[in-house]
């Protein structure tokens, strides 16, 4: 059973990484599924990110539990 609360917490964690100064200067960050992240929440997050324009996701492992996200702010204008 998916919980909106756990999903919202996961989204917030990823947003903080994306909005960090380092990620903003490089237009890139890496996210990693944590042991307490539900598999359904993680899959939903990746699916949602996949619908965002100008965002590229690169799996860094076989299970896509470690993913590099890149975005192009110039194209997003």
Q: What percent of the chain has pLDDT over 70?
A: 94
Q: Indicate the pTM of the whole model.
A: 0.87
Res 76: pLDDT: 54
Residue numbers of the chain with a pLDDT score lower than 50? none
Q: What pLDDT was estimated at residue 75?
A: 61
pLDDT tens, 36-51? 999 999 999 999 999 9
- Ramachandran region, residue 29 (left: φ > 0; alpha: ψ -120 to 50; beta: rest): beta
Answer left, alpha or beta for residue 71, where phi above 0 means left and psi between -120 and 50 means alpha: beta
Domain count, the chain: 1
Domain that holds residue 70: 4-76
- Distant-in-sequence, close-in-space partners of 23: CB < 8 Å, separation ≥ 6: 17, 29
């Amino acid at each position: 059973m998916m919980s909106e609360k756990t999903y919202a917490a996961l989204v917030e964690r990823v947003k903080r990484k994306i909005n960090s100064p380092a990620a903003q200067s490089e237009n890139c960050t890496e996210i990693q599924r944590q042991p307490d992240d539900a598999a359904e929440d993680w899959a939903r997050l990746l699916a949602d990110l996949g619908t965002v324009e100008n965002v590229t996701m690169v799996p860094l492992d076989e299970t896509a539990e470690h993913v590099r996200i890149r975005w192009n702010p110039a194209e997003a204008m």
